[in-house]
Amino acid sequence: MDLSPLWTSLKVVSVATALSGATGIGVAYLLALCRFPGRSLLQAFTALPLTLPPTVLGYYLLVALGRGSALGQWVEATFKTPLVFTWQGAAVAAAVPSLPLVVAAARAAFEEVDVQLLEAAQMDGAGTWQQFLWVLLPLAHRGILAGVTLGFARALGDFGTTLMVAGNIPGKTQTLPIALYDAVQAGRWDLATGLALALTGVAVVVLLAVGRLGTRLV
């Protein structure tokens, strides 16, 4: 059995999780602890991928990152390759629907942290960044990990958005879910079964691993 969809999936999902994790934690911090104009807009915007069909997300990403867009042209000029139909594009595609899961969980975790602890840290001379890093993150880490884990699982399972943005290119953008779809189209049910099991296996292993990582980080 060709293992390339497994490697492609792991690569794409790792980067997607890093993207949605970093962005999601930042957004969650803003939503939980800051008051600024446009806050509810930001909240709605980051929750949007949860309610939009994956094809709509895929379409928007194609328009936003495609070769016709300013962003797409910048990427192509800078990196000598377009973002769409590459594994990096697939990572962006998978990160978008996983973002709301990270934001929701991390935001709830931040909001549960006692504000007095932050104020105490502030009185001891801790700046915003120090409060975030040494008070907020450690206290909220369980919720954040849960969100990132969910985000990882969502990115791993992404099909529609990835297919639209990155296509079905074996060895480059063909992730496990897309390889499974391709196997079914080819009538190769044995391969489809193998891929479904591989996908399930990766999901279980990852969830177990991140779960263990979580308890060890306490």
Partner 1 sequence: MVRALGVLLALGAVLSGPASSGPVGQGLLVAAAADLRYAFEEMGDAFRRVAGVPVTFSFGSSGQLAFQVEHGAPFDLLFSANEAFVKRLAERGLVLPDSVQLYAVGRIVLWVRRQSVLPVEQGLRLLPDSRVRYVALANPEHAPYGEAARQALVRSGIYDQVRGKLVYGENVSSALQLVQSGNADVGVVALSLALAPPVSSAGRHWLVPDRLHDPIRQAAGVVARSAGQAEARRFLRFVNGPEGRPIMRRYGFVLPGEGPTP
Binding site for partner 1 (CB under 8 A): 4, 7-8, 10-11, 14-15, 17-18, 21-22, 62, 66-67, 76, 81-82, 84-87, 133, 137-138, 140-141, 144-145, 148, 152, 167-172, 174, 182, 184-187, 210, 213-214, 217
Complex with partner 1: residue 45 or 171, whichever CB lies closer: 171
At which residue do the structure tokens 């800051």 appear? Answer: 34
Q: To the nearest whole angstrom, how small is the minimum distance from the Cβ of residue 186 to partner 1? A: 6
Which residue pairs from 176-183 have beta carbons closer than 8 angstroms and sit at least 24 positions apart in sequence? 176/5, 176/6, 176/8, 176/9, 176/202, 177/9, 178/5, 179/5
Q: To the nearest whole angstrom, how small is the minimum distance from the Cβ of residue 147 to partner 1? A: 11
The type of residue at 207 is L
Q: To the nearest whole angstrom, how small is the minimum distance from the Cβ of residue 137 to partner 1? A: 5
Rounded alpha-carbon distances, angstroms, from residue 73 to 61, 67, 134, 166, 214: 14, 6, 40, 17, 40
- List the one residue out of 34, 216, 29 whose CA is nearest residue 137: 29
Q: To the nearest whole angstrom, how small is the minimum distance from the Cβ of residue 47 to partner 1? A: 22
Complex with partner 1: residue 95 or 96, whichever CB lies closer: 95
Complex with partner 1: residue 15 or 96, whichever CB lies closer: 15
